[in-house]
Amino acid sequence: MHVLVVGSGAREHALLLALRRDPEVETLSVAPGNAGTAAVADQYEVDMTSGEAVTALARRLGADLVVIGPEVPLVLGVADAVREAGIACFGPTKAAARIEGSKSFAKDVMATAGVRTATSEIVDNPAHLDAALDRFGPPGGYPAWVVKDDGLAAGKGVVVTADRDAARAHAAGLLEAGHPVLLESFLDGPEVSLFCVVDGKTVVPLLPAQDFKRVGDGDSGPNTGGMGAYTPLPWLSDEMTARIVEEVVEPVAAELVARDCAFSGLLYAGLAITSNGPAVVEFNCRFGDPETQAVLALLESPLGQLLRAAATGDLAAQPPLRWRDGAAVTVVVAAENYPSRPRVGDVIHGAEGEGVLHAGTARRDDGAVVSSGGRVLSVVGVGADLAAARAAAYARIASIRLPGSHFRSDIGLAAAEGRITV
């Protein structure tokens, strides 16, 4: 099987490494890739947002399966173009990808499916903003305002704050840019990311993970695209994971089928485990980054066969997934100034080691690997338990040198110390 992975981040690097372990995957290609993925797969340039360009490349390579990593191509309908060309594709249609591309669409799906989520209100007129803010934050009964961009924002369009001025400034900025604003009630409880491979009404959950959105230790500073993750979650029972599948993912998958936009691909449920049970924070239509890097590090089942089964309607016939014992931790090494405008072009030393996945990297003509984005590397550690996995990840980071870079030192720490409870 020849698999073409579309994307250029650490998520795609992790997908390629997992696909390489599948005995049925004979050839791997990636487009456009980065300085790290070039060592794992044949690398090609492509406009990821163009269905015509991705389809032409897949045809030229003779790809048997196309795996689309990022959300933007999926929301734009690139998977539709690949399928229309008769090539198997792992990734939802444009219509189904609205579950991530439009938060208001996702809310409507959840309401119809009877799935618990935060109460919400769309604001598209600046004149209505102040009254809406009064309904959704202190002193209206919630500990903080939750203000979101209604569309795609790469994980950085959300502000959670007890400061009304900060909430209003974020909302006003979105409205000024022509983006509708979603105000939500605050959900209490620890957060969980659950990835599920989905084909129509068939749902196959992967290991639950937890990610860290804030840039600084102790969940301080602004939101980012994700600064780290770990799996499995020692504080989350198998029974609660089963509840998430039964009460959240399966009803949403069934509702998308009923709306004639059946989901085929990776459906990501971001949830809060509240005092009343699981409640949805958001849905994504693809593998999440950085959780993917940790989850796939523990997967023993052949990934290529799993993704092809979902893409060809054979998911229900697949055997139960097999997982490696132990835990995995991903820590993101970010460029100076991230999540603001990052410093780029600096030489990275120690980026070629095992467990070091590339995201914002490029290779210069002289062969040096340099930073080219905000989240530069994802460093993965695996161990017998969470403490050992953390130690492995941070030991690897100690050998990496990137001027001005920063990372969180507390990824998975609270869970390893038993400080998270449901």
Q: What is the rounded CA–CA span in Å between residue 314 and residue 94? A: 21
The H-or-E segment that residue 59 falls in is helix 51-61
Assigned token pair, 420: 């998270």
SS3 content of the chain, % helix, strand, coil (to 5): 30, 30, 40
Average pLDDT over residues 91-111: 95
- The Cα–Cα gap between 96 and 93 comes to 5
Residue 102 has pLDDT above 60, yes or no: yes
146's CB contacts (< 8 A; 6+ apart) are 118, 136, 158, 159, 160, 183, 184, 185, 186
The whole-number pLDDT of residue 143 equals 74
Q: Report the length, in residues, of the chain.
A: 422
Encoding tokens for residue 29? 């290609």
Give per-residue pLDDT as tens, 31-50. 999 999 999 999 999 999 99
The DSSP bridge partners found for residue 309 are: none
Beta partners for residue 212, in sequence order: none
pLDDT value, residue 150 = 77
- Residue-wise pLDDT for 315-369, tens only, equals 999 999 999 999 999 999 999 999 999 999 999 999 998 999 999 999 999 999 9
- Are the C-beta atoms of residues 3 and 67 closer than 8 Å to each other? yes
Tell me the pLDDT band of 132, cut-offs 50, 70 and 90.
Answer: confident
DSSP letters of 183-200? EEPPPPS-EEEEEEEEET
User: Phi and psi of 266, rounded to 5°?
Assistant: -105, 115
**Is 80 exceeded by the pLDDT of residue 295?**
yes
**What's the pLDDT at 208?**
98
Least-confidence region, from 176-180, 191-195, 303-307: 176-180
Helices marked H in 95-204 — which ranges? 98-101, 103-113, 129-136, 164-176
pLDDT one-digit tens code per residue, 60-94: 999 999 999 999 999 999 999 999 999 999 999 99
pLDDT in tens, 15-30: 999 999 999 999 999 9
